Homo-oligomer: A and B are copies of this chain.
Amino acid sequence: MKGKIALEEHWESPDFPATGSHNFTDDEYFSAVQTRLQEFEKRIEDMDRNGIQTSILSLTQPGIEGITDPDRAVKLAKQMNDHAAEFFVCKHPDRFKAFASVPLQDPEEAAKELERAVNELGFVGALVNGYSNIGDEHTAQYLDEPQVRPFWEKAAQLQVPVYLHPRIPLPHQQRIYEGYEGLLGSAWGFGFETATHAIRLMLSGLFDEYPDLTVILGHLGEGLPFTLPRVEHRLRHQRPETHGNHKKAPTEYLRNNFYLTTSGVFRTQALIDTLLEVGSDRILFSVDYPYETMEEISSWFDQCPISETDRYKIGTENAAKLFQFNQ
């Protein structure tokens, strides 16, 4: 399939090692990843070979969110966005778009930087790598917390989506991984951390306040198409004050305020479950390059047993509508 748009495609600048710790990862794999993060020629070749017309780029995780000093976060976010604009988007405007990095350690500044990135640099939204550290690596701010609302207000006003990308669980939550540290990252810990974060957003009432706000989740919604209906079912018996201020059922937000991408997943069974839970208008193709190969995700996607109508929607049409691209 030609003309695909991919949304969870990462980059890194030589000036800032955004990937943080990778203690558990195979060195050979990680070093190849890092090389790929920083260049764009092989990336375009890969895109050409795999029918990907457009990659929407984002600073790799934990990126700005892992910086404990708010001032440094503000400064670095701008610098990184400028770098992405200069070295990727401007060089190949027909192939690269970008999500802004935002310094959520200071939500007002995050809102300003989002506005600048969208209006001045032509970025198409923001990508947030989970919670933001503030002060130290043990302290985290989640996106549903009240002080973050100015950022969401700006996203709603600009009508741009926010991609909620995973990051590693907080240190004091790592006890359950003892002896299996390899599970902490994208293999397992990322998914639970991010799914919980997304549930917090739903329950917080954010989407009642901004009904048109759009959040994007990778990895087919971090399992939520399978797990969220049970959450909803069980919350019936929990006292209301223990699960936020939401006015609607969680699955209603999932269907109406979220898009789910195929990043890092090529499992037809899970895709069918997702299709039967949220419908094909809310699924988007993505790779998670360079952590994943375009070959694996694309060759699966191009042939997986869905209708050609849905393949075109998921591969191209939904993203083109969401971002108002001319296709």
Contacts and interface: CB of A to CB of B under 8 A. Distances in A.
> Which of A193, A227, A255 has the most chain B CB atoms closer than 10 A to its own CB?
A227
Interface residues of A, number: 78
A42 interface: no
7 contacts: A24-B242, A180-B200, A183-B238, A226-B226, A226-B269, A230-B264, A270-B273
A144 to B, nearest CB: 8
A186 interface: yes
Given A244-B179, A275-B275, A227 B238 contact: no
A279 to B, nearest CB: 4
B182 A196 contact: no
Interface stretch (A52-60, A105-113, A152-160, A168-176): A168-176
B25 A237 contact: yes
Considering the complex of A and B, which 4 residue pairs feature the smallest CB-CB distances, nearest first? A182-B242, A182-B238, A268-B305, A279-B309
Contacts of A191: 227, 230
B237 A29 contact: yes
Interface string A65-105: 00000000000000000000000000000000000000000
Contacts of A30: 237
The A interface is mostly helix, strand or loop, or mixed, namely: helix
A175 B112 CA distance: 29
Interface of A: 24-26, 29-30, 140, 142, 144, 169-170, 172-173, 175-177, 179-183, 185-188, 191-193, 196-197, 199-200, 203, 219-220, 223, 225-227, 229-231, 233-235, 237-239, 242-244, 251-252, 255, 264-270, 272-273, 275-282, 304-310, 313
> Which of A169, A231, A266, A270 has the most chain B CB atoms closer than 10 A to its own CB?
A270
A223 B175 CA distance: 21
Contacts of A196: 176-177, 183, 188, 192
Contacts of A272: 272-273, 276, 305
